[in-house]
């Protein structure tokens, strides 16, 4: 007995929808994300968060099925005014955790000796970040 094709298609769709939610691919996260005075640019191998007095280089952001992720990073801070060419900027390890819901990303940035900062960014939004003075 032959099973109609639509029955097989229906069974296949049910099996797919019964499993875990489909993981959001890193490529779909690529591009700009922005919020008040914060810009995030996600690329193939990592991401960069730019703020007025510093920037954070992140390893690749790979959300799980629920949209949650954690990424180690390195924060480089800048001081106001001119900086000497021979002065190395201050670099500190940070832990960035977050959650993505649709086109919105909520970030928590933990830096040693500082309170945890919470940011909300939106995909496709470019932010103007003015350097600290």
What are the pLDDT tens digits along the chain (133 aa)?
444 443 334 334 444 334 444 344 455 899 999 999 999 999 988 999 999 989 999 988 999 999 999 999 999 988 887 777 888 878 999 999 999 999 999 999 999 999 999 999 999 988 888 887 6
> Would you say residue 82 lies in a domain?
yes
Please state, in angstroms and as integers, the Cα–Cα distance from residue 131 to each residue in 52, 59, 108, following that order.
4, 24, 21
> Would you say residue 12 lies in a domain?
no
> Would you say residue 118 lies in a domain?
yes
Structure tokens at 12: 């296949």
> Would you say residue 3 lies in a domain?
no
Q: Are 42 and 100 a contacting pair, CB within 8 Å?
A: no
* Phi and psi at residue 19, to the nearest 5°: -80, -165
Please give the tally of structural domains in the chain. Answer: 1
Roughly how many angstroms between the first and final C-alpha of the chain, as a whole number?
A: 78
> Would you say residue 116 lies in a domain?
yes
> Would you say residue 2 lies in a domain?
no
> Would you say residue 4 lies in a domain?
no
> Would you say residue 35 lies in a domain?
yes
Owning domain of residue 50:
24-123
Query: Which helix (H) or strand (E) covers residue 58, if one does?
Result: strand 54-58
> 10 Å Cβ neighbour count for 56?
23
């Amino acid at each position: 007995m032959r099973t109609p094709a639509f029955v097989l298609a229906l069974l296949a769709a049910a099996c797919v929808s019964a499993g875990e939610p489909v993981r959001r691919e890193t490529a779909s996260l690529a591009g700009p994300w922005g919020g008040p005075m914060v810009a995030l640019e996600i690329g193939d191998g990592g991401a960069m968060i730019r703020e007025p007095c510093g920037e954070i280089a992140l390893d690749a952001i790979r959300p799980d099925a629920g949209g949650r992720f954690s990424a180690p990073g390195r924060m480089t801070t800048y001081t106001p005014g001119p900086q000497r060419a021979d002065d190395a900027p201050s670099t500190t390890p940070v832990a960035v955790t977050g959650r993505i819901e649709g086109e919105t990303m909520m970030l928590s940035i933990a830096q040693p000796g500082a309170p945890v900062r919470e940011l909300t960014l939106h995909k496709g939004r470019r932010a103007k970040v003015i350097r600290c003075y």
